[in-house]
Structure 1
């Protein structure tokens, strides 16, 4: 991780700066990149509204999945045209992303005219703008088991051309254990949000593996948290629409409209399975991981499923 560069000058042309891999630097104790920190004051001063819903995850833990579920819950029937004409990334802005001075997640969120505003972030809990807490916003956090999360993040870093260079799998594996990836330690992230949830009843903590196992049941729990009631037909329609293969084929959801992702390297939505880590971890890596996990998580009450 390098030192923080003094200044970032981004082009007014939103496409000019897209295709270069950024370099991690230490930002308040967390490895970050410039497109998520250059607008820091504006991000931290973001004015949340009481009915805003924030979707928070470590990268590649089900962000798009939950974003799509929420968008269907709130707007699937009232605004069906948005499902076929507006990419999900525009409907659910990415709070900390700054592509150019005229293209940022904060701007997109501020320009949303529908209510509630659905906003996503990968921030560890300490980076969340204080207005979300002050306004008592509902926050949905999704956690995914560390092995599958690591694999998914690795393939995303390979195909997303603005992400730091992932290197080979074995070096990536080491950096994950050391917390030297973008957004820092998986352990700190999932545990930090869990700890916050213990004192804040506005946080709904979900597990990716539970969503795989019984999507309908998790949607029921989400609706209970959000105070929504769904008809049986509507629940069935949403559960079907958000199945992985349907989302993977949906060009408004699968990020195929993104200019910064190389789908020839890997699709954005790759497998959506629990247990794919077995196709990547060597026996030695799995032993090393399990030992490290046991030590690091020994005081954590969180329990993850490694297969379903």
Structure 2
């Protein structure tokens, strides 16, 4: 399926036609979740591949063979992409699924389900930069233009997959409506991967002994994933993803946005962020790059309970 120049519009959001059709998007919104499913939810470029790898290796008790022999899109297929039904029909195991869809499009499908939902968020400034470079190498995405032009579209929510602000607020503000929900940040995984693995392990009810945890930690490091052709998308033909222009797994650093944003762009972004996130149930503080990014809830007692609720398996 090529359709590299095709754009699908679904419920006001645009999607690349190379991977999405009206039928595949409709399939996702009417999906029959099983209670044993694990659904990884992200806005693009927010740690999707990383969490796919974590859940895969963890489900294999630290054995990395599957992660090193099967492409991640087969191990944890995107629910809204056209090939997903075929992948799931060939699998008899507990299913790992991935989606970039906003909450409102999956709310009905998840209603009453005990499927485990892991939501991964990332500093939106780093997301914008990573997404910009992804547009340069992914032939199924529109031309990015200058970074200034792309940033304007990102802030307006007119890029493919819609608004970052709506996506994050939609899922986190509705965490109480999801039976089993875990919230993780890219920054937490980058800063303390072992602790993040322990949280995910507990959430998935997949206890790991020390040796299994160590093996998972090794397989899920950024350097290991970057070398793994089942993860780094180097298997994809150059006509679809041109790694000469930019690598799929580029830097993986937190706070690297500072090397792309101008001071004016950063101030504009901050002002819009403050306005758009005012009604969010979760308050972020993305610190200066020389500081460790952290959640305000960890140092502000007023927000501790809200963050604690999002971290738990909700009844």
- The TM-score bracket by the shorter chain reads 0.7 to 0.9
Which residue in the other structure is 2:32 paired with? 47
Which residue in the other structure is 1:302 paired with? 283
C-alpha RMSD over aligned residues: 1.8
For structure 1, which runs of at least 5 residues remain unmatched after alignment? 1-13, 99-103
Structure 2 residue matching 1:141: 3-state secondary structure: strand
Q: Report the Cα distance in structure 2 between the residues aligned to 1:251 and 1:187, rounded to whole angstroms.
A: 32
Residue 251 of structure 2 corresponds to residue 271 of structure 1: yes
Counterparts of residues 99-178 of structure 1 (less than 5 Å): 104-114=83-93, 116-128=94-106, 130-178=108-156
Displacement after TM superposition at 1:77 (Å): 5.1
Residue 52 of structure 2 corresponds to residue 82 of structure 1: no
Q: Report the Cα distance in structure 2 between the residues aligned to 1:228 and 1:106, rounded to whole angstroms.
A: 26
Partners of 2:115 and 2:179 within 8 A in 1: no
Structure 2 residue matching 1:134: 3-state secondary structure: coil
How many pairs align? 284
Partners of 1:140 and 1:204 within 8 A in 2: yes
Q: Report the Cα distance in structure 2 between the residues aligned to 1:30 and 1:64, rounded to whole angstroms.
A: 22
In the TM superposition, what whole-angstrom CA distance separates every residue of 1:200-254 from its partner, at most 9, and x where no partner exists? 3411111110111100101111111111211112111111211111110111111
Q: Report the Cα distance in structure 1 between the residues aligned to 2:224 and 2:232, rounded to whole angstroms.
A: 10
Partners of 1:85 and 1:252 within 8 A in 2: yes
For structure 2, which runs of at least 5 residues remain unmatched after alignment? 293-315
Displacement after TM superposition at 1:289 (Å): 0.9
Partners of 1:21 and 1:165 within 8 A in 2: no
Which residue in the other structure is 2:79 paired with? 95
Which residue in the other structure is 2:44 paired with? 59
Structure 1 residue matching 2:41: 3-state secondary structure: strand
Partners of 2:114 and 2:179 within 8 A in 1: no
Which residue in the other structure is 1:213 paired with? 191
Which residue in the other structure is 2:302 paired with? none
In the TM superposition, what whole-angstrom CA distance separates every residue of 1:257-291 from its partner, at most 9, and x where no partner exists? 11221100111101111011001101111111111
Which residue in the other structure is 1:245 paired with? 223
Q: Report the Cα distance in structure 2 between the residues aligned to 1:256 and 1:175, rounded to whole angstroms.
A: 28
Partners of 2:119 and 2:184 within 8 A in 1: yes
Q: Report the Cα distance in structure 2 between the residues aligned to 1:167 and 1:213, rounded to whole angstroms.
A: 32
Structure 2 residue matching 1:56: 3-state secondary structure: strand
Displacement after TM superposition at 1:199 (Å): 3.4
Displacement after TM superposition at 1:21 (Å): 3.4
Partners of 1:145 and 1:304 within 8 A in 2: no
Specify whether residues 199 and 46 from structure 1 end up closer, same or farther in structure 2 by C-alpha distance, changes over 3 A only: closer
Displacement after TM superposition at 1:129 (Å): 6.8
Among 17, 20, 37, the alignment partner of 1:36 is 20
Structure 1 residue matching 2:98: 3-state secondary structure: strand
Q: Report the Cα distance in structure 2 between the residues aligned to 1:48 and 1:198, rounded to whole angstroms.
A: 18
Partners of 2:40 and 2:119 within 8 A in 1: yes
Partners of 2:62 and 2:215 within 8 A in 1: no
Q: Report the Cα distance in structure 1 between the residues aligned to 2:231 and 2:21, rounded to whole angstroms.
A: 26
Q: Report the Cα distance in structure 1 between the residues aligned to 2:111 and 2:89, rounded to whole angstroms.
A: 18
